[in-house]
Each structure stands twice: as structure tokens, then as C-alpha cells.
Amino acid sequence: MLENMIEEILIDEKTLKNRVKELGESITAAYDEDDDIVLVCILRGGFIFMADLARQVKLPVACDFMDVTSYEGTTSTGNVRIIKDLEESIEGKHVILVEDIIDTGLTLKHVISMLETRKPKSIKVCTLLDKPARRSVKEVEADWNGFEIPNKFVIGYGLDYDEKYRNLPYIFVPKPELYEDN
Ligand code: 5GP
């Protein structure tokens, strides 16, 4: 049963909704109507956040998707490989990278350096969650950050455990038994 594996609901549905709205407003205020903007979702963890965030940005933005190596287990390996690249060119465009969480920062560092070679006009980062205690790449900073969270493994609202639970509408800390049993 799902309830049995929740240690703590860290961010509930209403809090997520309010914060995503604020982030959307802040992004809207940072650009002009005629700027060429593309929201780039880092799959798969970012897809729920991106869908909600995009609807709170009141500008004509494009949406594109990029899949990089999935996260195995509960610690990051730093091995970033493109599984699915963007469909459109980002040259001369304002890119906003939409991430579920910045943990070590390694994924973002690799994605940013890769995208910079494609000559975008700017690259900014909007992350839902930030785990600053785990950062190994100090120079990686989000321009928009939903919530700073403690150094705990979290699940829900796009974030998975073993590819499951991304569909849960809140963010929770699982009981250790969830991954100890596997
Ligand atoms: P990085 O360590 O490179 O910053 O994090 C890369 C990816 O690892 C994130 O985009 C996310 O998908 C995954 N990740 C990091 N921390 C967590 C966590 O607490 N829970 C889950 N489910 N995934 C995480």
C-alpha cells in the first residue's frame, strides 16, 4: 500500500501549485513578449513540473524535450548521455532549462555546456527542487528555484523510484524499507 511507504509528505499539492504559479509569474516578468523563448524539459523527472509551469508562463513560449541518462538507485553517478535530443535549433533563442531537482549538479553542468555550443541567446535554469547539501559542482546555480530541500531522497510530482510514482501529485520522503527491500 502506498500509504505504508510514505515517511513524510515534504511538499503537498497545494503548496506545489502555489509555488509553480509564482515561478511562472517571475519567468513571465523576466522576458519581453517578442523574445524567442524555449522551455527545455529535462526528461523524465521534469515533465510534470514543466507541464504545470508552462501554463503559468504568460508568454508565447516553445516547448522542447531532452532525455539524458536516467538516475539509477539513490545516488548520482555523473554519467550523462543524451538519449533524446531537442527537436528544434536553439540558436539565437532564450533557453529556460526546466529541471525536477538539482542534486550534485552534474547533469545540469553537462547539459548546459552541451547547449552552450549551440549558440543560444541565453540559458537560464528553473528547478523545482534544490538539494544544496549534495552539490559537487559549485558553479551550477538555478535562476529560479521552487524549494530548497534537505538531503533526503524524494519521490513524486515527476520524481521516480525505479520509474514508478512520478504520477503522485505531492513530493514525499519514502520509508527506508522501500529501497532496502530491493
Ligand atoms: P544531479 O545529481 O545530476 O544533480 O541529479 C540528476 C537527476 O537525479 C535529477 O534530475 C533527478 O532526476 C535525479 N535525482 C536527484 N535527486 C533525486 C531524489 O531525491 N529523488 C529522485 N527520485 N531523483 C533524484
Q: What is the mean pLDDT of residues 86-101?
A: 98
How high is the pLDDT of residue 79?
58
pLDDT for the residue numbered 3: 74
Tell me what pLDDT residue 138 has: 76
pLDDT greater than 70 at residue 75 = no
75, part of any domain: yes
Active site residues: 103
Any domain includes 135: yes
| Residue, of 181 and 144, whose pLDDT is higher | 144
Residue 133: what pLDDT?
Answer: 87
* Residues 157-164, mean pLDDT to the nearest whole number: 95
With respect to residue 48, please indicate whether it lies within any of the assigned structural domains: yes
State the cell numbers at 85: 535530443
The per-residue DSSP string of the chain comes to -GGGGEEEEEE-HHHHHHHHHHHHHHHHHHS-TTS-EEEEEEETTTHHHHHHHHTT--S--EEEEEEEPPPPTTS------EEE--SS--TTSEEEEEEEEESSSHHHHHHHHHHHTT--SEEEEEEEEE-GGG-S-TT---SEEEEE--S---BBTTB-BTTB-TT-SSEEEEPTHHHHT-
CA of 154 to the centre of ligand 1 (A): 9
Which atom from ligand 1 is nearest to the alpha carbon of 106?
3
Distance CA 93, CA 122 (A): 7
Our answer on whether the CB atom of 168 is closer than 6 Å to any ligand 1 atom is: no
Could you give the CA distance from residue 67 to residue 50 in angstroms, rounded to a whole number? 14
Q: Is 53's C-beta closer than 6 angstroms to any atom of ligand 1?
A: no
103 CA closest ligand 1 atom index: 4
Is residue 111 in some structural domain?
yes
Average pLDDT, the chain: 91
- To the question of pTM greater than 0.85 for the whole model, the response is yes
Closest residue by Cα to atom 19, ligand 1, is 153
113-142 tens-digit pLDDT: 889 999 999 999 999 999 988 888 777 889
Residue 79 within any structural domain of the chain = yes
pLDDT for 72 equals 53
In a domain, 150, yes or no: yes
Q: How many domains does the chain have?
A: 1
Q: Which CATH number covers residue 42?
A: 3.40.50.2020
**What does the pLDDT read at residue 73?**
47
| Residue range(s) defining the domain that contains residue 46 | 2-174
pLDDT tens per residue, range 4-25: 889 999 999 999 999 999 999 9
* Number of residues written out for the chain: 182
Q: Residue 34 domain-assigned?
A: yes
Ligand 1 atom 7: the closest Cα is on which residue?
Answer: 71
Nearest CA to ligand 1 atom 5: 103
Q: Is residue 76 in some structural domain?
A: yes
- The verdict on the CB of residue 106 being under 6 Å from ligand 1 is yes
Residues 42, 129: Cα–Cα separation, whole Å: 14
**CB distance 110 to 125 below 8 Å:** no
105 CA closest ligand 1 atom index: 4
